């Protein structure tokens, strides 16, 4: 199976996981599919699936916590979560996976990040702790452009520069949209790169944030600047389903019957797979 098919299957699994309870931030999760794939499947993150709390692991923090679905499905794909556990996503059953991440409920999750803007501060703390321990572990924080309107983000950006956290990499999912519309209209930002450079960060841009090779090259590069770095990935919100792409109406929405046909065609979903997705497995772990 080639990478395009693997990524289509990844998005398909996200949709089928959300379909039974008909709730999820699908567009936000689809936006970061390639970033997640590169981090977890292309040798960027150091982790042990059977030992999620391995002390020397790299830390990954999803600051844009509404895209939790992308993390859950990836954790299933690498063997941290079971199919049964994944099937509980947002269902009214005991021990269900929530719509936002929680580290005490889900192995492989470092931080609770439902309240936007706080993931980077947590990441700064992790990076400082790794420095203090003289650990070679890296910290990666994935942020959304909408949450960059939160003041706490920029306090964290300043702190990371002050403490020269060159073991910290931020990935900005720059899909140009947030809940209510275009980020350029809401906060009038024309260049995130200029903002981050002004705060003393090393900046790299990936013009196509869905290009696996380009993302892999950027994330594989060792940071020798002595400063924290940000990789700005220019992405498409809702990537993979034409109805959702570049459309703010799909920030928190599941398809109606007519729209469902497009999802099924473009994600290669059969009627039987839709029916199978409704089944709640008994062996929840």
Do you know the residue count of the chain?
A: 285
Whether domain 3-277 has CATH 3.40.50.970: yes
Average pLDDT over residues 231-252: 95
Question: Per-residue pLDDT averaged across 252-257, rounded?
Answer: 91
pTM reported for the whole predicted model: 0.95
Among 171, 102, 159, 88, which Cα is nearest to 128's?
Answer: 159
Distance CA 175, CA 232 (A): 10
Q: Binning pLDDT at 50, 70 and 90, where does residue 123 land?
A: very high
Residue owning tokens 């994935």: 142
CA atoms within 13 A on the CB side of 80: 19
Q: Which residues of 136-154 are buried (b: 16+ CB within 10 A; e: fewer)?
A: ebbbbbbbbbbbbebeebb
Domain ranges of the chain: 3-277
Q: Phi/psi at 179 (nearest 5 deg)? A: -55, -45
Which run of H or of E encompasses 160?
helix 151-162
Q: Which helix (H) or strand (E) holds 205?
A: strand 202-206
Query: Does residue 183 surpass a pLDDT of 90?
Result: no
Q: Quick one: average pLDDT of 266-278?
A: 93
């Amino acid at each position: 199976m080639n990478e395009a098919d693997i990524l289509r299957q990844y998005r398909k699994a996200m949709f089928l996981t959300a379909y039974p309870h008909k709730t999820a931030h699908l567009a936000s999760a689809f936006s970061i599919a390639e970033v997640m794939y590169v981090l977890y499947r292309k040798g960027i993150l150091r982790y042990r699936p059977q030992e999620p709390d391995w002390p020397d692991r790299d830390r990954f923090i999803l600051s844009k916590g509404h895209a939790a679905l992308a993390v859950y499905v990836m954790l299933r794909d690498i063997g941290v979560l079971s199919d049964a556990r994944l099937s509980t996503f947002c269902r009214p059953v005991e021990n269900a996976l929530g719509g936002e991440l929680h580290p005490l409920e889900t192995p492989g999750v470092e931080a609770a990040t439902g309240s936007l803007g706080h993931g980077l501060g947590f990441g700064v703390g992790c990076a400082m702790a790794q420095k203090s321990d003289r650990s070679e572990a890296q910290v990666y924080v994935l942020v959304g452009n909408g949450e960059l309107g939160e003041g706490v983000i920029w306090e964290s950006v300043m702190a990371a520069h002050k403490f020269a956290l060159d073991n910290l990499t931020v990935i900005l999912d720059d899909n140009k949209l947030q809940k209510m519309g275009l980020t350029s209209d809401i906060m009038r930002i024309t260049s995130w790169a200029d903002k981050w450079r002004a705060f003393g960060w090393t900046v790299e841009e990936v013009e196509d944030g869905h290009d696996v090779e380009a993302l892999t090259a950027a994330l594989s590069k060792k940071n020798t600047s002595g400063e924290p770095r940000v990789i700005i990935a220019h992405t498409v919100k809702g990537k993979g389903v034409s109805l959702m792409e570049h459309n703010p109406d799909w920030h928190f929405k599941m398809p109606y019957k007519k729209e469902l046909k497009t999802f099924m065609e473009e994600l290669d979903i059969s009627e039987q797979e839709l029916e199978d997705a409704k089944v709640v497995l008994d062996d929840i772990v």
